Amino acid sequence: MSAAAKNLTPVTLELGGKNPCIVHHDAKLDIAVNQIVSSKFINASQTCVAPDYVIAHKSIKEEFLSKLKNRIINVYGEDASTSPDFARIVNDSHFQRITGLIDQKKVMVGGQSDTESWFISPTVMRDVTLADKVMSDEIFGSVLSVLDYGNLSDVYTVIDQLSPPP
């Protein structure tokens, strides 16, 4: 940046990370689900503003997950590999890294992939913990993790544990 500043060259910073979505017990679930699906899965989630995970309040988690699954199917179809609106992963190493993050035992929708076309379906994993591999780094791919919480202090704890030190 200092070299750019000396020459008055514009700089764009890509500020990704472990972007959370918090769905509280009084959320309008249809709106939340529509916005999460559209912001997460556009360009197969290869955007720096895509959410990496959702923290949903325990009281609405099951309803949220059901609506999330239905919305993904409504937008991309039962088989997202045939959807003209769902992108592919940019290269093989990125494809391998993302598929390595998917725990099939926790997948509630999606989880399919194709090595030949670098396709990874819109995937949602439920009951994810901070110890899961998918929570260790920015995903930058079509995998959405869902955790739950009971009170807001739990949310702060999760975000603090996933945030890099200043």
How many CA within 13 A on the CB side of residue 83?
22
Give me the active site residues, please.
14, 48
- φ and ψ of 84, to 5 deg: -75, -10
Q: Structure pTM?
A: 0.88
Band the pLDDT of 165: cuts 50, 70, 90.
Answer: low
Going across the sheet that includes 107-109, the strands are: 20-23, 53-57, 143-149, 123-125, 107-109
Band the pLDDT of 162: cuts 50, 70, 90.
Answer: confident
What pLDDT score was predicted for residue 16?
57
User: What is the fold of 17-162?
Assistant: Aldehyde Dehydrogenase; Chain A, domain 2 (3.40.309)
Kindly report, residue by residue over 11-63, the tens digit of the pLDDT.
766 555 688 999 999 999 999 999 999 999 999 899 888 999 999 999 999 99
Q: What is the DSSP string of 101-155?
A: T--GGGEEE---EETTTTEE--EEE-S--TTSGGGSS---SSEEEEEEESSHHHH
Q: How many residues does the chain have?
A: 166
pLDDT at residue 68 tops 90: yes
List the domain boundaries for the chain. Answer: 17-162
Band the pLDDT of 166: cuts 50, 70, 90.
Answer: low
